[in-house]
Structure 1
Amino acid sequence: MKQLITHILFATDLSRNSTHALRHAATLAQSTGAKLHVLHVSEPLSDDALITMRMFMHDAGSRAEALKARHEHVKAVLTERQKNFWAAMPKADRHIQDQVETIEIIDGYPAEAILRRSKELGCDLIVLGAHDHGFSHTFLGSVAKRVLRRSEIPTLVVPYLDTTQSN
């Protein structure tokens, strides 16, 4: 029988719940031997934000530097979250990190970018977390719905885990 899952795309919005979803993606990668691709999509700035930048930053070079700083900040957060996630993993399971094939930050509209990258990378499964109030408030509410509606491959949406409530 042909292996069904060989490449998993884990899409993160960098919210607290994304760590919970990554745990599921890593477990699936471990159990299937699949390669894991980590993706964060930075949404384009709104027209209002761009107008505000132009009003207060007249120099095009300054605007470009501000956009670059925004991207670098997201990269630093993603790097730190990945580092902390793997450090918190039990030593016996840290080898799963070797299955991470790519870690990317791309600009675009999240649902479209997730679907496009999943095809480009030859993924068999998309894993993302349910809505949480993180870096991008709308990332995994409407985005998850759009991905689910349009995906041609299985998509796992990991429910939000409220760690503030005790059982």
Structure 2
Amino acid sequence: MKPMITNILFATDLSQNSPYALRHAASLAQATGAEIHVLHVNEPISDDARITFEMFVLNDETRKSAAKRRHEMVKKVLAERQARFWAALEGDDARIRDQVTSVEVTDGHPAEVILRRSVELGCDLIVLGAHDHGFSHTFLGTVAKRVLRRSQIPTLVVPYQNGDDD
């Protein structure tokens, strides 16, 4: 008997490959009737950035406000990209959007948050995109490697796709 996919966690880093990876999550959801949970995790700022920020922004309230604005800006970018992705679909494909049951932006260490939320949401599949080949990233990326290493459920890492597949 085949395991049933009922809840998919689509973890996005808002990179160029994200729409391509979302296409795979949506296709799987369409084929199985699964719900899609969209998650983006804001990485904590580095210690160097934090120190610099504290040096130049002396007011604690202003620092808190800036952190809140950062979080809100990412929510806005995610909402815009989701809207653009779903608007490009037609017919039966457009109805897959109804299977998205949550869209969440949170702060933390991405791999840990992805793994924790997959358990909390009762997901049976994680979908995320790989990074492109380059000097600053390995093929999979650190987050994908950590998720793959520690995940207790199947995890689909969608390879980087060259081209204009937005």
TM-score (norm. length: structure 2): 0.92
CA distance in 1, matches of 2:89, 2:158: 19
Q: Match for residue 123 of structure 2?
A: 123
- Gaps spanning 5+ residues in structure 1: where? none
- Gaps spanning 5+ residues in structure 2: where? none
Q: Match for residue 31 of structure 1?
A: 31
Determine helix, strand or coil for the equivalent of 1:10: strand
Q: Match for residue 70 of structure 2?
A: 70
Q: Match for residue 150 of structure 2?
A: 150
TM-score (norm. length: structure 1): 0.91
CA distance in 2, matches of 1:132, 1:112: 22
* Residue-pair matches, total: 160
Determine helix, strand or coil for the equivalent of 2:161: coil
CA distance in 1, matches of 2:8, 2:92: 21
Deviation per CA, 1:74-124, whole angstroms, max 9, x where unpaired? 011000000000001123311100000100001000000000000000000
Q: Match for residue 86 of structure 1?
A: 86
Determine helix, strand or coil for the equivalent of 2:86: helix
Shift of 1:65: 1.1
Q: Match for residue 13 of structure 2?
A: 13
Q: Where does structure 1 differ by over 4 angstroms across 4 or more consecutive aligned residues?
A: none
Give aligned-pair identity as a percent. 68
Determine helix, strand or coil for the equivalent of 1:16: coil
Deviation per CA, 1:109-152, whole angstroms, max 9, x where unpaired? 0000000000000000000000149xxx78x6011011001000
**Aligned-pair Cα RMSD in Å:** 1.6
CA distance in 1, matches of 2:116, 2:81: 24
CA distance in 2, matches of 1:104, 1:63: 23
CA distance in 1, matches of 2:132, 2:22: 14
